[in-house]
Homo-oligomer: A and B are copies of this chain.
Amino acid sequence: MIEALRALKPEGLKAFTEDLKSAVLERVEDKIAHLESSMAVAELTVAVHYVLNTPEDILIWDVGHQGYFHKAITGRLEELRNMRKPGGISGFLKRSESPFDFFGAGHASTSISALSGVCAADKLSNRARHRVAIIGDGSLTGGQSFEALNFIGAQAYDAVVIINDNEGSIDATVGALHEHQSYKGYVESLGWSYTFLEEGNDVEKAVEVFNKVLRGSGPRVLHVKTTRPDLSHEKSYKPGTTFQWYAAEALRDVLTKYWDLQLISPAMFAGSGFAPLKYAFEDQMIDTGINEAHAVTMAAGIAATGGRPWVHIYSTFLQRAYDQVVHDIVLQKLPVVFLVDRAGVVGADGSTHHGFYDSGFLSDLPGVIVWNPMDGTELQSMIREAADMVLTGPLFIRYPKSTTVCGKAEPFEAWRWLQKSQMTKGKTDEEEEGYVGYDLPGLGADLEGVLFVTTGELSSYWKNHPVGDHIHLAQIHPIPEDALKEMLGKKLLVVMEETAGYGSIGGTISMLVATSQMEKRFSTRVVVKRIPDRIVDHGDRSLLLKELGLIP
Protein backbone atom coordinates (compact mmCIF):
# COMPACT_ATOMS: atom_id res chain seq x y z
CA MET A 1 0.00 0.00 0.00
CA ILE A 2 2.86 2.36 0.80
CA GLU A 3 4.06 2.35 -2.83
CA ALA A 4 0.57 3.20 -4.02
CA LEU A 5 0.43 6.01 -1.49
CA ARG A 6 3.74 7.45 -2.62
CA ALA A 7 2.69 7.29 -6.27
CA LEU A 8 -0.23 9.62 -5.57
CA LYS A 9 -0.29 13.31 -6.30
CA PRO A 10 -1.01 15.48 -3.27
CA GLU A 11 -4.56 16.09 -4.44
CA GLY A 12 -5.22 12.35 -4.27
CA LEU A 13 -4.30 12.07 -0.60
CA LYS A 14 -7.64 13.13 0.80
CA ALA A 15 -9.60 10.42 -1.00
CA PHE A 16 -6.89 7.91 -0.10
CA THR A 17 -7.20 8.85 3.56
CA GLU A 18 -10.98 8.66 3.55
CA ASP A 19 -10.91 5.21 1.95
CA LEU A 20 -8.33 4.09 4.46
CA LYS A 21 -10.44 5.38 7.34
CA SER A 22 -13.37 3.27 6.19
CA ALA A 23 -11.14 0.26 5.75
CA VAL A 24 -9.64 0.62 9.23
CA LEU A 25 -12.96 1.30 10.92
CA GLU A 26 -14.40 -1.80 9.30
CA ARG A 27 -11.59 -3.99 10.62
CA VAL A 28 -10.90 -2.74 14.13
CA GLU A 29 -13.10 -4.00 16.94
CA ASP A 30 -10.86 -3.20 19.84
CA LYS A 31 -9.61 -1.00 21.48
CA ILE A 32 -11.94 1.90 20.83
CA ALA A 33 -10.08 4.54 22.86
CA HIS A 34 -6.96 3.75 20.86
CA LEU A 35 -8.95 3.67 17.64
CA GLU A 36 -10.02 7.22 18.40
CA SER A 37 -6.40 8.24 18.90
CA SER A 38 -5.54 6.57 15.62
CA MET A 39 -8.41 8.22 13.75
CA ALA A 40 -7.21 11.59 15.02
CA VAL A 41 -3.87 11.07 13.26
CA ALA A 42 -5.14 9.36 10.09
CA GLU A 43 -4.19 12.35 7.93
CA LEU A 44 -0.94 12.93 9.80
CA THR A 45 0.01 9.28 9.37
CA VAL A 46 -0.68 9.38 5.65
CA ALA A 47 1.27 12.62 5.38
CA VAL A 48 4.42 11.41 7.13
CA HIS A 49 4.57 8.13 5.20
CA TYR A 50 3.93 10.06 1.98
CA VAL A 51 6.76 12.48 2.63
CA LEU A 52 9.29 10.30 4.40
CA ASN A 53 11.10 7.39 2.86
CA THR A 54 10.27 4.98 5.68
CA PRO A 55 11.69 2.65 6.82
CA GLU A 56 15.02 4.16 5.64
CA ASP A 57 13.98 7.40 7.26
CA ILE A 58 13.31 6.98 10.95
CA LEU A 59 9.76 7.35 12.24
CA ILE A 60 9.13 6.70 15.94
CA TRP A 61 5.65 6.75 17.42
CA ASP A 62 5.35 7.50 21.11
CA VAL A 63 3.27 4.82 22.95
CA GLY A 64 2.11 3.42 19.61
CA HIS A 65 -1.54 3.20 20.59
CA GLN A 66 -2.27 5.65 17.76
CA GLY A 67 -0.58 3.40 15.19
CA TYR A 68 -3.57 1.67 13.56
CA PHE A 69 -3.18 3.69 10.32
CA HIS A 70 0.56 3.24 10.43
CA LYS A 71 -0.04 -0.51 10.58
CA ALA A 72 -2.53 -0.38 7.74
CA ILE A 73 -0.25 1.62 5.45
CA THR A 74 2.73 -0.63 6.17
CA GLY A 75 1.12 -3.88 5.12
CA ARG A 76 -1.02 -4.87 8.09
CA LEU A 77 -4.49 -3.69 7.07
CA GLU A 78 -6.06 -7.14 7.04
CA GLU A 79 -4.31 -8.13 10.24
CA LEU A 80 -6.13 -5.33 12.06
CA ARG A 81 -9.04 -7.76 12.23
CA ASN A 82 -7.24 -9.97 14.71
CA MET A 83 -5.29 -7.24 16.46
CA ARG A 84 -4.93 -7.66 20.28
CA LYS A 85 -6.32 -11.20 20.00
CA PRO A 86 -4.35 -14.38 20.74
CA GLY A 87 -1.99 -14.97 17.83
CA GLY A 88 -2.93 -11.66 16.24
CA ILE A 89 -0.84 -8.55 15.87
CA SER A 90 -0.14 -6.26 18.79
CA GLY A 91 -2.22 -3.23 19.62
CA PHE A 92 1.00 -1.24 19.87
CA LEU A 93 3.98 -0.95 17.54
CA LYS A 94 6.51 -3.73 17.81
CA ARG A 95 9.93 -4.14 16.21
CA SER A 96 9.38 -7.82 15.61
CA GLU A 97 6.18 -7.11 13.67
CA SER A 98 7.49 -4.88 10.92
CA PRO A 99 10.67 -3.05 9.83
CA PHE A 100 8.45 0.04 9.79
CA ASP A 101 8.04 -0.29 13.57
CA PHE A 102 11.50 1.05 14.23
CA PHE A 103 11.02 1.41 17.97
CA GLY A 104 8.27 -0.33 19.89
CA ALA A 105 6.44 1.07 22.85
CA GLY A 106 3.33 0.79 24.97
CA HIS A 107 4.42 3.13 27.73
CA ALA A 108 4.53 6.88 27.14
CA SER A 109 7.27 9.48 26.69
CA THR A 110 10.14 7.35 25.37
CA SER A 111 10.12 8.31 21.68
CA ILE A 112 12.31 11.42 21.79
CA SER A 113 14.97 9.60 23.83
CA ALA A 114 15.00 6.80 21.27
CA LEU A 115 15.23 9.43 18.53
CA SER A 116 18.27 10.96 20.24
CA GLY A 117 19.97 7.57 20.12
CA VAL A 118 19.47 7.39 16.37
CA CYS A 119 20.82 10.92 16.03
CA ALA A 120 23.93 10.05 18.06
CA ALA A 121 24.63 6.87 16.10
CA ASP A 122 24.02 8.63 12.77
CA LYS A 123 26.30 11.49 13.75
CA LEU A 124 29.14 9.10 14.54
CA SER A 125 28.70 7.26 11.24
CA ASN A 126 27.91 10.39 9.22
CA ARG A 127 24.59 9.00 8.10
CA ALA A 128 22.08 11.45 6.60
CA ARG A 129 18.38 10.66 6.75
CA HIS A 130 15.25 12.12 8.25
CA ARG A 131 14.62 11.33 11.89
CA VAL A 132 11.13 11.99 13.22
CA ALA A 133 9.25 11.20 16.41
CA ILE A 134 5.51 11.73 16.92
CA ILE A 135 4.37 12.32 20.49
CA GLY A 136 0.99 13.26 21.95
CA ASP A 137 0.28 16.12 24.30
CA GLY A 138 -0.45 13.56 27.02
CA SER A 139 2.93 11.86 26.67
CA LEU A 140 4.65 15.23 26.91
CA THR A 141 3.63 15.39 30.59
CA GLY A 142 6.10 12.55 31.23
CA GLY A 143 9.45 13.94 32.34
CA GLN A 144 11.46 11.70 30.08
CA SER A 145 10.21 13.70 27.10
CA PHE A 146 11.62 16.84 28.73
CA GLU A 147 14.93 15.11 29.41
CA ALA A 148 15.22 14.17 25.75
CA LEU A 149 14.14 17.58 24.42
CA ASN A 150 16.62 19.35 26.70
CA PHE A 151 19.41 16.97 25.70
CA ILE A 152 18.81 17.14 21.94
CA GLY A 153 18.38 20.90 22.13
CA ALA A 154 21.94 21.20 23.39
CA GLN A 155 23.37 18.65 20.96
CA ALA A 156 21.66 20.47 18.10
CA TYR A 157 20.95 17.20 16.32
CA ASP A 158 18.96 17.26 13.08
CA ALA A 159 15.70 15.87 14.42
CA VAL A 160 12.00 16.55 14.10
CA VAL A 161 9.44 16.05 16.85
CA ILE A 162 5.78 16.25 15.90
CA ILE A 163 3.58 17.12 18.85
CA ASN A 164 0.21 15.60 18.15
CA ASP A 165 -2.08 17.76 20.23
CA ASN A 166 -5.54 16.25 20.44
CA GLU A 167 -6.46 17.35 23.95
CA GLY A 168 -5.71 14.20 25.76
CA SER A 169 -4.63 10.62 25.94
CA ILE A 170 -7.15 8.38 27.69
CA ASP A 171 -7.82 11.02 30.31
CA ALA A 172 -7.77 14.70 29.40
CA THR A 173 -4.28 16.13 29.45
CA VAL A 174 -3.40 18.05 32.59
CA GLY A 175 -0.49 20.36 33.32
CA ALA A 176 0.27 24.01 32.66
CA LEU A 177 1.98 23.39 29.33
CA HIS A 178 -1.19 22.07 27.78
CA GLU A 179 -3.55 24.27 29.73
CA HIS A 180 -1.73 27.44 28.69
CA GLN A 181 -0.90 26.07 25.22
CA SER A 182 2.60 27.35 25.77
CA TYR A 183 4.39 24.75 23.66
CA LYS A 184 6.17 27.42 21.66
CA GLY A 185 7.85 29.03 24.66
CA TYR A 186 8.56 25.64 26.15
CA VAL A 187 10.32 24.05 23.19
CA GLU A 188 12.14 27.23 22.26
CA SER A 189 13.53 27.43 25.80
CA LEU A 190 14.94 23.96 25.15
CA GLY A 191 16.66 24.91 21.92
CA TRP A 192 14.07 23.75 19.40
CA SER A 193 12.53 25.73 16.56
CA TYR A 194 8.75 25.76 16.52
CA THR A 195 6.18 25.48 13.75
CA PHE A 196 2.44 25.34 14.32
CA LEU A 197 -0.16 23.61 12.18
CA GLU A 198 -3.75 24.23 13.16
CA GLU A 199 -5.27 22.04 10.44
CA GLY A 200 -3.74 18.68 11.37
CA ASN A 201 -6.65 16.80 9.83
CA ASP A 202 -6.11 18.42 6.42
CA VAL A 203 -3.77 15.95 4.80
CA GLU A 204 -2.59 18.19 1.96
CA LYS A 205 -1.82 20.98 4.37
CA ALA A 206 -0.04 18.52 6.65
CA VAL A 207 2.15 17.36 3.76
CA GLU A 208 2.99 20.93 2.83
CA VAL A 209 3.93 22.03 6.33
CA PHE A 210 5.75 18.82 7.19
CA ASN A 211 7.81 19.15 4.00
CA LYS A 212 8.73 22.67 4.99
CA VAL A 213 9.81 21.59 8.47
CA LEU A 214 11.85 18.71 7.04
CA ARG A 215 13.82 21.11 4.86
CA GLY A 216 15.09 22.86 7.98
CA SER A 217 17.94 21.74 10.19
CA GLY A 218 18.69 21.32 13.88
CA PRO A 219 16.04 20.34 16.43
CA ARG A 220 12.59 21.22 15.06
CA VAL A 221 9.18 20.87 16.66
CA LEU A 222 6.03 20.74 14.56
CA HIS A 223 3.02 21.28 16.78
CA VAL A 224 -0.07 19.84 15.09
CA LYS A 225 -3.66 20.18 16.26
CA THR A 226 -5.77 17.14 15.50
CA THR A 227 -9.29 16.16 16.45
CA ARG A 228 -10.29 12.91 18.07
CA PRO A 229 -13.61 11.51 16.97
CA ASP A 230 -15.96 10.21 19.63
CA LEU A 231 -16.55 6.57 18.83
CA SER A 232 -18.33 5.88 22.13
CA HIS A 233 -15.84 4.70 24.65
CA GLU A 234 -15.40 1.09 25.36
CA LYS A 235 -15.86 0.55 29.08
CA SER A 236 -12.78 -0.94 30.65
CA TYR A 237 -15.04 -2.68 33.17
CA LYS A 238 -18.63 -3.70 33.49
CA PRO A 239 -20.45 -2.30 36.52
CA GLY A 240 -20.56 -4.70 39.41
CA THR A 241 -18.32 -7.37 37.97
CA THR A 242 -14.66 -6.38 38.20
CA PHE A 243 -11.91 -5.83 40.73
CA GLN A 244 -11.87 -2.24 39.45
CA TRP A 245 -15.55 -1.76 40.20
CA TYR A 246 -15.32 -3.18 43.70
CA ALA A 247 -12.21 -1.10 44.40
CA ALA A 248 -14.14 2.02 43.42
CA GLU A 249 -17.03 1.05 45.72
CA ALA A 250 -14.78 0.60 48.73
CA LEU A 251 -12.83 3.70 47.84
CA ARG A 252 -16.01 5.73 47.99
CA ASP A 253 -16.45 4.57 51.57
CA VAL A 254 -12.95 5.43 52.71
CA LEU A 255 -12.91 8.78 50.88
CA THR A 256 -16.08 9.60 52.78
CA LYS A 257 -14.73 8.35 56.10
CA TYR A 258 -11.41 10.18 55.84
CA TRP A 259 -11.75 13.71 54.50
CA ASP A 260 -7.96 14.01 54.36
CA LEU A 261 -7.42 10.91 52.24
CA GLN A 262 -6.01 12.06 48.88
CA LEU A 263 -5.86 9.66 45.97
CA ILE A 264 -3.27 10.45 43.32
CA SER A 265 -3.32 8.85 39.90
CA PRO A 266 -0.86 9.39 37.07
CA ALA A 267 -3.52 9.83 34.37
CA MET A 268 -5.34 6.57 34.93
CA PHE A 269 -8.59 7.46 36.64
CA ALA A 270 -10.57 6.54 33.51
CA GLY A 271 -8.83 3.19 33.11
CA SER A 272 -9.19 2.47 36.80
CA GLY A 273 -12.93 2.81 36.94
CA PHE A 274 -12.53 5.68 39.42
CA ALA A 275 -13.60 8.45 37.03
CA PRO A 276 -17.06 8.82 38.61
CA LEU A 277 -15.46 9.30 42.04
CA LYS A 278 -13.43 12.19 40.67
CA TYR A 279 -16.53 14.31 40.42
CA ALA A 280 -17.84 13.39 43.85
CA PHE A 281 -14.51 13.88 45.63
CA GLU A 282 -12.93 16.60 43.55
CA ASP A 283 -10.54 17.84 46.25
CA GLN A 284 -9.40 14.39 47.21
CA MET A 285 -8.75 12.90 43.77
CA ILE A 286 -5.70 14.28 41.98
CA ASP A 287 -4.76 13.43 38.39
CA THR A 288 -1.12 14.42 37.93
CA GLY A 289 -0.73 13.55 34.24
CA ILE A 290 1.43 10.75 32.86
CA ASN A 291 4.21 11.13 35.42
CA GLU A 292 4.59 8.21 37.78
CA ALA A 293 7.78 9.43 39.42
CA HIS A 294 6.21 12.75 40.30
CA ALA A 295 2.98 11.14 41.49
CA VAL A 296 4.80 8.85 43.92
CA THR A 297 7.07 11.54 45.37
CA MET A 298 4.10 13.87 45.64
CA ALA A 299 2.40 11.21 47.77
CA ALA A 300 5.54 11.07 49.91
CA GLY A 301 5.32 14.84 50.33
CA ILE A 302 1.73 14.54 51.54
CA ALA A 303 2.75 11.81 53.97
CA ALA A 304 5.71 13.85 55.22
CA THR A 305 3.40 16.64 56.29
CA GLY A 306 1.00 14.27 58.03
CA GLY A 307 -1.56 13.78 55.28
CA ARG A 308 -3.11 10.54 54.12
CA PRO A 309 -1.89 9.82 50.59
CA TRP A 310 -2.98 6.95 48.37
CA VAL A 311 -1.65 6.30 44.91
CA HIS A 312 -3.50 4.51 42.15
CA ILE A 313 -1.08 3.13 39.59
CA TYR A 314 -0.85 0.25 37.13
CA SER A 315 1.69 -2.40 38.05
CA THR A 316 3.54 -1.92 34.77
CA PHE A 317 3.81 1.83 35.35
CA LEU A 318 4.97 1.39 38.93
CA GLN A 319 8.21 0.23 37.28
CA ARG A 320 8.68 3.90 36.41
CA ALA A 321 8.58 4.97 40.02
CA TYR A 322 10.65 2.23 41.61
CA ASP A 323 13.33 4.61 42.76
CA GLN A 324 10.74 6.98 44.18
CA VAL A 325 9.20 4.11 46.15
CA VAL A 326 12.65 3.21 47.52
CA HIS A 327 14.19 6.65 47.97
CA ASP A 328 11.23 8.80 48.97
CA ILE A 329 8.91 6.37 50.73
CA VAL A 330 10.69 3.26 52.01
CA LEU A 331 13.85 4.95 53.26
CA GLN A 332 11.77 7.65 54.96
CA LYS A 333 9.29 5.11 56.34
CA LEU A 334 6.36 7.12 55.06
CA PRO A 335 2.81 5.73 55.12
CA VAL A 336 1.46 5.59 51.57
CA VAL A 337 -1.19 3.16 50.34
CA PHE A 338 -0.85 2.01 46.74
CA LEU A 339 -3.67 0.56 44.69
CA VAL A 340 -1.71 -1.42 42.13
CA ASP A 341 -4.07 -2.03 39.24
CA ARG A 342 -3.46 -4.47 36.32
CA ALA A 343 -1.27 -6.67 38.52
CA GLY A 344 -0.32 -9.96 36.92
CA VAL A 345 -1.29 -11.08 33.43
CA VAL A 346 -2.96 -8.14 31.76
CA GLY A 347 -4.56 -9.56 28.64
CA ALA A 348 -4.99 -7.75 25.34
CA ASP A 349 -2.51 -4.94 26.01
CA GLY A 350 0.22 -7.55 25.98
CA SER A 351 3.93 -7.71 26.69
CA THR A 352 4.49 -4.05 27.53
CA HIS A 353 1.65 -4.01 30.04
CA HIS A 354 1.86 -7.19 32.08
CA GLY A 355 2.28 -6.65 35.83
CA PHE A 356 4.84 -9.38 36.51
CA TYR A 357 7.68 -7.65 38.24
CA ASP A 358 6.35 -5.49 41.05
CA SER A 359 5.65 -8.20 43.61
CA GLY A 360 9.29 -9.25 43.32
CA PHE A 361 10.87 -5.83 43.46
CA LEU A 362 8.56 -4.63 46.23
CA SER A 363 9.19 -7.66 48.43
CA ASP A 364 12.91 -6.84 48.38
CA LEU A 365 12.37 -3.59 50.27
CA PRO A 366 12.41 -3.23 54.06
CA GLY A 367 9.19 -2.32 55.84
CA VAL A 368 6.93 -2.89 52.86
CA ILE A 369 3.59 -4.71 53.01
CA VAL A 370 2.08 -6.33 49.91
CA TRP A 371 -1.45 -7.70 49.59
CA ASN A 372 -3.05 -9.73 46.79
CA PRO A 373 -6.84 -10.13 47.09
CA MET A 374 -8.47 -13.27 45.72
CA ASP A 375 -11.77 -11.60 44.89
CA GLY A 376 -13.84 -8.45 45.22
CA THR A 377 -14.88 -9.24 48.78
CA GLU A 378 -11.30 -9.44 49.93
CA LEU A 379 -10.23 -6.41 47.91
CA GLN A 380 -12.87 -4.33 49.64
CA SER A 381 -11.86 -5.61 53.06
CA MET A 382 -8.26 -4.70 52.24
CA ILE A 383 -9.13 -1.17 51.17
CA ARG A 384 -11.11 -0.56 54.35
CA GLU A 385 -8.40 -2.15 56.49
CA ALA A 386 -5.65 -0.11 54.81
CA ALA A 387 -7.52 3.09 55.49
CA ASP A 388 -7.93 2.27 59.18
CA MET A 389 -4.40 1.00 59.80
CA VAL A 390 -1.57 3.03 61.28
CA LEU A 391 1.19 2.45 58.76
CA THR A 392 4.93 2.89 59.18
CA GLY A 393 5.75 2.42 55.53
CA PRO A 394 4.07 1.75 52.22
CA LEU A 395 1.29 -0.79 51.70
CA PHE A 396 0.58 -2.15 48.23
CA ILE A 397 -2.78 -3.69 47.29
CA ARG A 398 -2.38 -5.46 43.95
CA TYR A 399 -5.34 -6.56 41.86
CA PRO A 400 -5.74 -7.77 38.30
CA LYS A 401 -7.78 -6.52 35.36
CA SER A 402 -10.38 -9.21 35.71
CA THR A 403 -13.95 -9.94 36.60
CA THR A 404 -14.63 -11.16 40.10
CA VAL A 405 -17.33 -11.57 42.70
CA CYS A 406 -18.08 -9.64 45.85
CA GLY A 407 -20.01 -10.81 48.87
CA LYS A 408 -20.78 -9.08 52.12
CA ALA A 409 -18.04 -7.30 54.03
CA GLU A 410 -15.54 -9.48 55.84
CA PRO A 411 -12.71 -8.56 58.17
CA PHE A 412 -9.25 -8.69 56.62
CA GLU A 413 -7.19 -11.81 57.24
CA ALA A 414 -3.55 -12.02 56.15
CA TRP A 415 -3.97 -15.65 55.12
CA ARG A 416 -6.46 -18.45 55.36
CA TRP A 417 -7.18 -22.08 54.61
CA LEU A 418 -9.15 -22.61 51.45
CA GLN A 419 -9.11 -26.34 51.99
CA LYS A 420 -7.88 -28.37 54.90
CA SER A 421 -8.59 -32.02 55.34
CA GLN A 422 -7.48 -34.75 57.67
CA MET A 423 -6.77 -36.88 54.69
CA THR A 424 -7.24 -35.61 51.18
CA LYS A 425 -8.74 -37.96 48.68
CA GLY A 426 -6.08 -39.42 46.42
CA LYS A 427 -5.60 -38.53 42.81
CA THR A 428 -3.96 -40.42 40.02
CA ASP A 429 -0.66 -39.16 38.72
CA GLU A 430 -2.29 -38.07 35.52
CA GLU A 431 -4.82 -35.94 37.28
CA GLU A 432 -2.15 -34.33 39.42
CA GLU A 433 -0.15 -33.31 36.43
CA GLY A 434 -3.23 -31.75 35.00
CA TYR A 435 -3.75 -29.72 38.11
CA VAL A 436 -0.34 -28.28 38.59
CA GLY A 437 1.12 -28.64 35.16
CA TYR A 438 4.22 -30.20 36.62
CA ASP A 439 5.78 -33.60 36.67
CA LEU A 440 5.67 -34.57 40.32
CA PRO A 441 7.38 -37.93 40.72
CA GLY A 442 7.22 -39.58 44.09
CA LEU A 443 3.83 -38.22 45.00
CA GLY A 444 2.21 -41.56 44.45
CA ALA A 445 -1.51 -41.85 44.55
CA ASP A 446 -2.31 -39.48 47.38
CA LEU A 447 -1.94 -35.83 48.20
CA GLU A 448 -1.09 -36.29 51.85
CA GLY A 449 1.69 -33.97 52.84
CA VAL A 450 1.04 -31.74 49.89
CA LEU A 451 0.19 -28.09 50.47
CA PHE A 452 -0.87 -25.70 47.76
CA VAL A 453 -0.05 -22.08 48.36
CA THR A 454 -1.66 -19.54 46.08
CA THR A 455 -2.29 -15.82 46.16
CA GLY A 456 -4.41 -13.24 44.39
CA GLU A 457 -7.00 -14.30 41.88
CA LEU A 458 -5.25 -17.63 41.38
CA SER A 459 -6.65 -18.56 44.79
CA SER A 460 -10.15 -18.10 43.42
CA TYR A 461 -9.38 -20.24 40.39
CA TRP A 462 -8.01 -23.04 42.56
CA LYS A 463 -10.54 -22.74 45.36
CA ASN A 464 -12.88 -25.72 45.43
CA HIS A 465 -10.59 -27.64 43.15
CA PRO A 466 -9.62 -30.88 44.86
CA VAL A 467 -5.92 -30.07 45.01
CA GLY A 468 -5.28 -31.09 48.59
CA ASP A 469 -4.61 -28.74 51.49
CA HIS A 470 -4.64 -25.20 50.23
CA ILE A 471 -3.58 -21.90 51.74
CA HIS A 472 -4.41 -18.49 50.31
CA LEU A 473 -1.88 -15.79 51.09
CA ALA A 474 -3.66 -12.45 51.10
CA GLN A 475 -0.47 -10.88 52.40
CA ILE A 476 2.52 -11.95 50.34
CA HIS A 477 5.05 -9.75 52.05
CA PRO A 478 5.99 -10.29 54.73
CA ILE A 479 4.55 -13.79 54.62
CA PRO A 480 2.55 -14.26 57.84
CA GLU A 481 4.58 -16.33 60.27
CA ASP A 482 1.82 -18.74 61.17
CA ALA A 483 1.25 -19.46 57.48
CA LEU A 484 4.95 -20.20 57.13
CA LYS A 485 4.75 -22.61 60.05
CA GLU A 486 2.08 -24.56 58.22
CA MET A 487 4.37 -24.88 55.23
CA LEU A 488 7.40 -26.28 57.02
CA GLY A 489 7.34 -30.03 57.41
CA LYS A 490 5.23 -30.70 54.37
CA LYS A 491 6.34 -33.22 51.78
CA LEU A 492 5.59 -30.91 48.91
CA LEU A 493 4.72 -27.26 48.63
CA VAL A 494 3.25 -26.10 45.35
CA VAL A 495 3.51 -22.33 45.24
CA MET A 496 1.68 -20.46 42.51
CA GLU A 497 1.91 -16.81 41.70
CA GLU A 498 1.55 -14.44 38.77
CA THR A 499 5.07 -13.17 39.09
CA ALA A 500 8.24 -13.44 37.04
CA GLY A 501 11.65 -14.06 38.47
CA TYR A 502 12.99 -15.53 41.65
CA GLY A 503 11.70 -13.24 44.36
CA SER A 504 8.22 -12.75 45.80
CA ILE A 505 6.65 -15.78 47.53
CA GLY A 506 8.40 -18.39 45.36
CA GLY A 507 11.85 -17.19 46.31
CA THR A 508 10.93 -16.36 49.89
CA ILE A 509 9.37 -19.73 50.66
CA SER A 510 12.12 -21.59 48.80
CA MET A 511 14.77 -19.72 50.75
CA LEU A 512 13.07 -20.43 54.03
CA VAL A 513 12.57 -24.10 53.27
CA ALA A 514 16.08 -24.52 51.89
CA THR A 515 17.49 -22.89 55.02
CA SER A 516 15.47 -25.14 57.30
CA GLN A 517 16.28 -28.50 55.75
CA MET A 518 18.97 -29.76 58.03
CA GLU A 519 17.87 -28.29 61.31
CA LYS A 520 14.40 -29.71 61.11
CA ARG A 521 15.48 -33.11 59.82
CA PHE A 522 12.97 -33.21 57.08
CA SER A 523 12.92 -32.75 53.38
CA THR A 524 10.36 -30.46 51.85
CA ARG A 525 10.19 -30.07 48.15
CA VAL A 526 8.96 -26.76 46.78
CA VAL A 527 7.58 -26.46 43.29
CA VAL A 528 7.19 -22.85 42.26
CA LYS A 529 4.78 -22.24 39.44
CA ARG A 530 5.20 -18.73 38.10
CA ILE A 531 5.57 -16.69 34.92
CA PRO A 532 8.34 -18.34 32.90
CA ASP A 533 11.57 -16.54 31.95
CA ARG A 534 10.33 -15.40 28.58
CA ILE A 535 8.34 -12.57 27.06
CA VAL A 536 4.59 -13.17 27.33
CA ASP A 537 2.52 -11.76 24.49
CA HIS A 538 -1.03 -10.45 24.45
CA GLY A 539 -4.16 -12.53 24.65
CA ASP A 540 -7.17 -13.19 26.82
CA ARG A 541 -6.19 -13.16 30.49
CA SER A 542 -7.67 -16.51 31.43
CA LEU A 543 -6.42 -18.18 28.25
CA LEU A 544 -2.93 -16.91 28.98
CA LEU A 545 -3.12 -18.07 32.59
CA LYS A 546 -4.16 -21.49 31.40
CA GLU A 547 -1.43 -21.61 28.79
CA LEU A 548 1.09 -20.66 31.50
CA GLY A 549 -0.19 -23.53 33.64
CA LEU A 550 -1.34 -21.20 36.40
CA ILE A 551 -5.02 -22.08 36.41
CA PRO A 552 -6.83 -25.39 36.02
B117 pairs with A304, CB closer than 8 A? yes
One of A46-54, A77-85, A361-369 at the interface: A361-369
Interface of A is mostly: helix
- Is A153 part of the contact surface with B, judged by Cβ < 8 Å? yes
Q: A148: which B residues are within 8 A, CB to CB?
A: 294, 297-298
Chain B minimum-CB-distance residue to A187: B189
- Is A331 part of the contact surface with B, judged by Cβ < 8 Å? yes
Instruction: Report the interface size for chain A: residues with CB under 8 A from the other chain.
Output: 129
Interface string of A347-380 (1 = CB under 8 A from B): 0000110001100110111110000000000000
Bound CA span A118–B501, Å = 37
Bound CA span A419–B51, Å = 65
Bound CA span A129–B517, Å = 59
Bound CA span A259–B330, Å = 43
B365 pairs with A352, CB closer than 8 A? no
Q: A502: which B residues are within 8 A, CB to CB?
A: 360, 363-364, 502-504, 507-508, 511
- Is A166 part of the contact surface with B, judged by Cβ < 8 Å? no
B327 pairs with A106, CB closer than 8 A? yes
B175 pairs with A153, CB closer than 8 A? yes
Chain B minimum-CB-distance residue to A439: B519
Among B330, B367, B523, the residue within 8 A (CB) of A517 is B523
- Is A435 part of the contact surface with B, judged by Cβ < 8 Å? no
B102 pairs with A289, CB closer than 8 A? no
Among B150, B262, B526, the residue within 8 A (CB) of A289 is B150
Among B113, B120, B284, B327, the residue within 8 A (CB) of A124 is B284
Known: A319-B323, A502-B511. A293 touches B143 (CB 8 A): yes
Within 8 A of B (CB), among A408-424: none
- Is A283 part of the contact surface with B, judged by Cβ < 8 Å? yes
Bound CA span A58–B527, Å = 52
Interface string of A430-465 (1 = CB under 8 A from B): 000000000001100000000000000000000000
- Is A232 part of the contact surface with B, judged by Cβ < 8 Å? no
Within 8 A of B (CB), among A135-171: 141-154
Q: A300: which B residues are within 8 A, CB to CB?
A: 103, 113-114, 117
Bound CA span A189–B176, Å = 8
B110 pairs with A324, CB closer than 8 A? yes
B518 pairs with A297, CB closer than 8 A? no
Report the copy number of this chain in the oligomer: 2
Bound CA span A121–B298, Å = 10
- Is A513 part of the contact surface with B, judged by Cβ < 8 Å? yes
A307 pairs with B189, CB closer than 8 A? no
B104 pairs with A332, CB closer than 8 A? yes
Interface string of A96-140 (1 = CB under 8 A from B): 000000111111001001111110111111000000000000000
Q: A364: which B residues are within 8 A, CB to CB?
A: 356-357, 360-361, 500-503
Bound CA span A174–B191, Å = 12
Bound CA span A523–B331, Å = 38
B150 pairs with A360, CB closer than 8 A? no
Among B110, B124, B190, B298, the residue within 8 A (CB) of A176 is B190
A186 pairs with B175, CB closer than 8 A? no
Known: A124-B284, A284-B124. A117 touches B298 (CB 8 A): yes
B144 pairs with A150, CB closer than 8 A? no
Within 8 A of B (CB), among A475-516: 491-492, 500-504, 506-511, 513-516
Bound CA span A442–B116, Å = 59
Bound CA span A55–B492, Å = 57
- Is A12 part of the contact surface with B, judged by Cβ < 8 Å? no
- Is A286 part of the contact surface with B, judged by Cβ < 8 Å? yes
Bound CA span A58–B332, Å = 17
A147 pairs with B289, CB closer than 8 A? yes
Q: Shortest 6 CB-CB distances between A and B: which pairs?
A: A117-B301, A143-B143, A364-B501, A153-B176, A507-B507, A176-B191
Further contacts, 11 of them, CB under 8 A, given A185-B188, A510-B513: A104-B331, A110-B328, A117-B303, A121-B262, A125-B307, A143-B293, A148-B297, A183-B189, A186-B186, A360-B502, A502-B511
User: Which residues of A pack against B, CB within 8 Å?
Assistant: 58, 95, 102-107, 110, 113-118, 120-125, 141-154, 174-177, 179-180, 182-186, 188-192, 259-260, 262, 283-284, 286, 288-289, 291, 293-294, 297-307, 309, 316-317, 319-320, 322-324, 326-328, 330-332, 351-352, 356-357, 360-361, 363-367, 441-442, 491-492, 500-504, 506-511, 513-519, 523-528, 533-535
